[in-house]
Amino acid sequence: MGVPEDWLLTQTERGNPQTRLDDQHPGDRAWSEGNLVRPLIHGATYFAELFERIEATRPGDLVLFTDWQGDADERLTGEPGSEVIEVLGRADERGVDVRGLVWRSHSESIGFTARENAQLGRGLQRRGAEVILDMRVRTGGSHHQKMVVIRHQYDPSRDVAYVGGIDLCHSRRDDAMHGGDPQVLDTMADEYGATPPWHDIQAAITGPAVHDVETVFRERWEDPTTLRRSPIVVLHDRLRGLDTSPDPLPEQLPPPPPAGRHSVQLLRTYPDLRQGRDYAFARGGERSVARGYTKAVEKARRLVYVEDQYLWGHHVSNVFVEALRRQRGLHVIAVVPMHPDVTGFSRTAQLLGRRRAMLDMHRTAPDRVSVYGLENAAGTPIYVHAKTCTIDDTWASIGSDNFNRRSWTHDSELSTVVVDPEGEFARDLRLTLAAEHLDRSREDVEELAEPEAMFAAYADAATALDAWHARDRSGPRPPGRLRRLEPPRLGVVRRALATAPYLLLHDPDGRPRPLRRVDRF
């Protein structure tokens, strides 16, 4: 399978010598070894474990979290008393040091969650926790990282970090049956029904890499860049009782002891903020997400398996196209939402991004690229919010970043990459996801270990389910949840009208101008 050095970025390849992450791994090894990473598939799985872990914290422990969207009343277990604000508030009240970085967000008038995020911040501050609304982003950008770090003062073997795509908010607490979270978002497209089914993944990390995830939080917390550019906004926040100046964090504990055999590298995106407002730890931004995926896909020989919310644009598809051209035996499977989560003209812009990526790959290798959506047993589409990728059962990622230019250059992102010396982590993740999508037991998909077998099984399942729908759902429903997707059909006029909104609003470029000119990351 090759050693980690073959797959992971060196410090030089990361492209950002300022980061404190490099200080933790001497020499030219910008990753940690001796970790155990567990994929937590579904929000209900993650939330239940998170509830237990936070409830078990004691005075002197430390809980750090970041959030793109937060709802104070989201119940982690579904039971009263498991609300996000109650769980974190109780922890702080019993002596745990609770700190949070929540994206300030754009206005709810344009479909975002500024009110909810502010309510979470204010509510936790009233309970004694320190939560900062962070708007140190590029214009039109966001802090998209979703992590929780729990450090135990007296028992570092219990330390854990969670990294992935799951926010502490409504709609995320779904399970394998995909009936949806009873606490729902009110902004989803009608196709997803009253309780939108939601597919997502978070990585649970134990071992030395917990220290690395904590360092990512500390870099943002301690960054001297002003939280907001507008003094009027700062004054308004202070009048509302919001904390605008982060207090110092306690001294960082040493890395936890080894817990497994996984090599873990953190990949990140930070934009070039411009106008003299740059992150102290990422001058000119950081694009190790883009660089890490590019390096890994270049090494792909047999199968790239992707589950992603978007999969947009030429910049992303070019990475796959070049790999498909080089390796005639390479197959690509992608699982994405059947429909965008938005309506109106924003939907057209998103479909344009998908069309660009899919057409490029299909034209290159039409018989080696397949893209699928998912539906539950009732025929309701499942919104795929997962951001995960496995390559040749060797390299695997779980993170907040999507396959689009925005995630690779413009918003803050964080992804966990795992390389397992035994090659089991990526394979097990791929087959566990396949078992769910094919409606099989985990044991029944062992025969799909060979990439060609999995490619064929997905195609057969989708063909059968599509045919059942074409017959007006007559007869028994075939097993499986996969629906084949083709490149969206958009007329010339619709494509022309959607191009500018797509490029400027939905998939903007956060690279410094010199890199834009040469189209490099």
- Spatial separation of the C-alpha atoms in residues 303 and 450, rounded to whole Å: 9
pLDDT (average), residues 214-227: 91
Q: Is residue 491 very low, low, confident or very high in pLDDT (cuts 50, 70, 90)?
A: very high
Other beta carbons within 10 Å of 48? 18
H or E element: which one contains 232? Answer: helix 231-239
- Spatial separation of the C-alpha atoms in residues 495 and 514, rounded to whole Å: 28
| Segment 300-311, tens digit of pLDDT | 999 999 999 999
- Spatial separation of the C-alpha atoms in residues 151 and 146, rounded to whole Å: 17
- Give, in degrees to the nearest 5, the angle at Cα 401 between 399 and 404: 150
**Which domains are assigned to the chain?**
31-260 (3.30.870.10), 301-396+421-507 (no CATH)
What is the model's pLDDT at position 70?
A: 96
What is the model's pLDDT at position 230?
A: 67
Which amino acid is located at 83 in the chain?
Answer: E
pLDDT of 2 > 70? The answer is no
Average pLDDT over all residues of the chain: 93
More confident residue, 2 or 346: 346
| Segment 401-445, tens digit of pLDDT | 999 999 999 999 999 999 987 879 999 999 999 999 999 999 999
What is the model's pLDDT at position 512?
A: 93
What is the model's pLDDT at position 105?
A: 86
Strands 383-384 and 198-199 come out as parallel
Q: Is residue 223 very low, low, confident or very high in pLDDT (cuts 50, 70, 90)?
A: very high
**% of the chain beyond a pLDDT of 90:** 83
What is the model's pLDDT at position 5?
A: 82
Closest residue by Cα to residue 345 from 91, 21, 111, 182: 111
- Spatial separation of the C-alpha atoms in residues 471 and 483, rounded to whole Å: 15
More confident residue, 317 or 24: 317
Residues whose CB falls within 8 Å of the CB of residue 314, separated by 6 or more in sequence, listed in order: 356, 357, 360
- Spatial separation of the C-alpha atoms in residues 314 and 360, rounded to whole Å: 7
More confident residue, 233 or 502: 502
User: For the range 107-112, what are the long-range contacts, defined as Cβ-Cβ under 8 Å and sequence gap of 24 or more?
Assistant: 111/187, 111/342
Other beta carbons within 10 Å of 450? 11
pLDDT (average), residues 186-194: 91
Helices (H), 365-479: 405, 424-438, 451-470
Q: Is residue 245 very low, low, confident or very high in pLDDT (cuts 50, 70, 90)?
A: confident
More confident residue, 272 or 241: 272
What is the model's pLDDT at position 340?
A: 96
Tokens of 406: 């925005």
pLDDT (average), residues 233-249: 78
- pTM to 2 decimal places: 0.96
pLDDT (average), residues 297-326: 95
| Segment 4-58, tens digit of pLDDT | 788 999 988 887 655 666 555 544 468 999 999 999 999 999 999 999 999 999 9
Of 128-137, 143-152, 225-234, 366-375, the one with minimum mean pLDDT is 225-234
What is the model's pLDDT at position 58?
A: 98
- Spatial separation of the C-alpha atoms in residues 383 and 188, rounded to whole Å: 9
What is the model's pLDDT at position 28?
A: 47
